[in-house]
Amino acid sequence: QVQLQESGPGLVKPSQTLSLTCTVSGGSISSGSYYWSWIRQPAGKGLEWIGRIYTSGSTNYNPSLKSRVTISVDTSKNQFSLKLSSVTAADTAVYYCAREELELRPRWFDPWGQGTLVTVSS
């Protein structure tokens, strides 16, 4: 059973870069059958898809965040990562990583990591 776990600093200063890692256990990130996504949720608000990566390194990003987001994958560590630059208080949120099946049609997210809270503050 595949499990995902987010990790990274819980506090980031404004204008700096937020960096998070998602570690995949119970399966190989290189299986080739999945996309790996980042999703965030500000406190008391809804979910926002940030972007996804395939093991080849191919990425897709939310158009509203595209200029600030970079998602990368490290197959040797069974991890994928998120970098969000020039953060502001509006980027304060719980960040989740999740898996999506690779198919011709966009699919759902399952499973999800437990989430990690990132606060942007000086």
Partner 1 sequence: QSVLTQPPSVSGAPGQRVTISCTGSSSNIGAGYDVHWYQQLPGTAPKLLIYGNSNRPSGVPDRFSGSKSGTSASLAITGLQAEDEADYYCQSYDSSLSGQGHVFGTGTKVTVL
Residues that bind partner 1 (CB under 8 A): 37, 45-49, 51-52, 60-64, 66, 96, 100, 105-115
Minimum gap (Å) between residue 25 Cβ and partner 1: 16
Please identify, using beta-carbon distances, which residue of 5 and 75 lies nearer to partner 1: 5
Closest approach, Cβ 76 to partner 1, in A, equals 26
Q: Shortest Cβ distance from residue 37 to partner 1 (Å)?
A: 7
Whichever of 76 and 105 has its CB closer to partner 1, that residue is: 105
DSSP 8-48: S-SEE-TTS-EEEEEEEESS-TTSSSEEEEEEEE-TTS--E
Length of the chain: 122
The DSSP call for residue 90 is G
